[in-house]
Amino acid sequence: MNTHNALTVTDSNFKEEVLDADVPVLVDFWAAWCGPCRMVAPTVEELAGEFDGRAKVVKVDVDQNPETPMQYGVRSIPTLLFFKDGQVADQLVGVSSKKDLADRLDALVAQAA
């Protein structure tokens, strides 16, 4: 099983990969030292595989890319932002169930269809 489904996005390609995407995007703001981030990471990877072609799932390392989290007011991690048409459509802070994340992403995919 491929565990590297989620695309790693940086401050420099965030606009191109997330804001200009033609499908809904789930952005996982995380850091290597963050325990809860490591808990949610496998779920994020699974969703990337399951939503392939219908939505994008990307990860932003807040330590290596400080500008983007600051721009979106990310104060604690993990923060998961759901983008649609270049705008934040939904957000979750902390560890969430796979079902909750999938349901929110499904709702955006349905709106986009």
45-84 pLDDT, tens digit per residue, is 999 999 999 999 999 999 999 999 999 999 999 999 999 9
Per-residue burial over 81-95, b = 16 or more CB atoms within 10 Å of its CB, e = otherwise: bbbbeeeeebbbeee
34 as an active site residue: the answer is yes
Is 91 within a domain?
Answer: yes
Domain holding 65: CATH number? 3.40.30.10
Domain membership of residue 16 (yes or no) is yes
CA distances 3 to 25, 46, 66, 97, Å, are: 18, 8, 25, 18
Number of folded domains in the chain? 1
In terms of residue numbers, what domain contains 20? 7-112
From the list 26, 20, 94, the residue with the least C-alpha distance to 60 is 26
User: From the candidates 18, 37, 58, 60, which is the catalytic residue?
Assistant: 37
Residue 2 lies in a domain: no
Question: Is 37 labeled as catalytic in the residue annotation?
Answer: yes
Q: Which of 7, 23, 34, 41 is catalytic?
A: 34
pTM: 0.94
Is residue 93, in this structure, part of any structural domain at all?
yes
Q: Provide the mean pLDDT of the chain.
A: 94
Share of the chain above pLDDT 70, in %: 96
